[in-house]
C-alpha cells in the first residue's frame, strides 16, 4: 500500500511525501530493487544527487544485470558531473541492452563531456541507426561537427532532419545557424540565430553565437549588445570578455 501511495505522490510531484512513503516501504522490503530505483528518482528530483547515487548504487548491487538500474545510475552520475563513473555505468547498460537508443545517446553525451569526440560520434550514429527520428541525437551530432568546423554539409543535413521533427526547438535552430556561420554564410546564419534567441532568450552560448554573426556582418553595436547579454547570463567568460574588449 505504501509503495502505491508513494507512486501516486511521485506522479503528483509531491516528492517529500513520496520519499517518506518509500522509506517506510523500504523498511518492510529492504531488498526491493524497484524501491531503490524510485528512491533514486525522488532524491534526484529533490536535488540530493549524492543520495540519489547511493540509492541507485544499491539497486545495481542488488541486480548488476538490470540495464535500467545501470542506466539511471549513469544519469545521476552524469548530472553530478562524475563523467568517468557515468560512462562506466552507461557502458554496462549498453552491454546489457545494445538496442536501446536512449542508452546509446546518453553514453554519447557523456563521452563528449569527457572530450572523447570519436567515441561520442560513434554513439550518436548508433543512436540514429536505432532510431532515425531521434531528434536530439541528430542535433547533437550536427552541433559537434559544426563546433569543430568539420563535415559541415553533413552537420547541416542532420540538424535539418532534427528540425523537421521539432521545428520550433530553439536549440536546434541555433545549431543550424552555427553550422551556417561555420560555412561562412553569415546572412543565413544571422537569420537563424535571431530566430533561435527569440525562442530561447536566456542562453549565454546562443547570445555569443548571435554576437559573432553580427560582428562578421560589421553590425558592431548589435554584436556588443549580444555579447554583453551573454556575459550577463554567464559572468566570468574570458572568451566573451575578450570579444567585448576587441569590438
Per-10-residue mean pLDDT of the chain, 247 residues long, equals 82 92 93 96 96 98 98 98 98 98 98 98 98 98 98 98 98 98 98 98 98 98 98 97 96
Residue 32, burial from CB neighbour count under 10 angstroms (0-12, 13-18, 19+):
middle
What is the per-residue pLDDT for 5? 84
pTM value? 0.93
Amino acid at each position: 500500500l505504501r509503495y502505491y501511495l508513494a507512486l501516486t505522490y511521485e506522479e503528483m510531484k509531491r516528492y517529500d511525501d513520496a520519499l517518506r512513503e518509500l522509506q517506510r516501504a523500504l523498511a518492510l522490503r529492504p531488498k526491493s530493487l524497484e524501491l531503490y530505483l524510485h528512491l533514486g528518482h525522488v532524491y534526484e528530483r529533490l536535488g540530493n544527487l549524492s543520495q540519489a547515487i547511493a540509492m541507485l548504487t544499491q539497486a545495481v548491487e542488488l541486480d548488476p544485470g538490470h540495464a535500467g538500474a545501470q542506466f539511471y545510475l549513469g544519469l545521476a552520475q552524469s548530472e553530478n558531473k562524475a563523467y568517468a563513473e557515468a560512462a562506466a555505468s552507461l557502458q554496462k547498460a549498453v552491454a546489457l541492452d545494445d538496442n536501446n537508443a536512449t542508452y546509446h545517446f546518453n553514453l554519447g553525451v557523456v563521452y563528449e563531456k569527457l572530450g572523447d569526440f570519436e567515441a561520442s560520434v560513434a554513439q550518436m550514429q548508433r543512436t540514429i541507426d536505432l532510431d532515425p527520428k531521434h531528434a536530439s541525437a541528430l542535433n547533437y551530432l550536427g552541433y559537434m561537427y559544426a563546433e569543430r568546423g568539420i563535415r559541415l554539409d553533413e552537420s547541416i543535413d542532420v540538424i535539418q532532419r532534427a528540425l523537421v521533427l521539432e521545428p520550433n526547438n530553439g536549440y536546434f535552430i541555433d545549431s543550424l545557424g552555427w553550422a551556417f556561420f561555420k560555412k561562412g554564410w553569415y546572412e543565413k546564419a544571422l537569420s537563424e540565430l535571431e530566430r533561435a534567441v527569440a525562442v530561447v532568450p536566456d542562453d549565454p552560448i546562443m547570445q555569443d553565437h548571435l554576437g559573432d554573426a553580427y560582428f562578421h556582418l560589421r553590425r558592431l553595436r548589435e554584436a556588443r549588445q549580444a555579447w554583453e547579454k551573454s556575459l550577463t547570463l554567464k559572468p566570468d567568460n574570458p572568451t566573451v570578455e575578450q570579444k567585448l574588449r576587441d569590438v
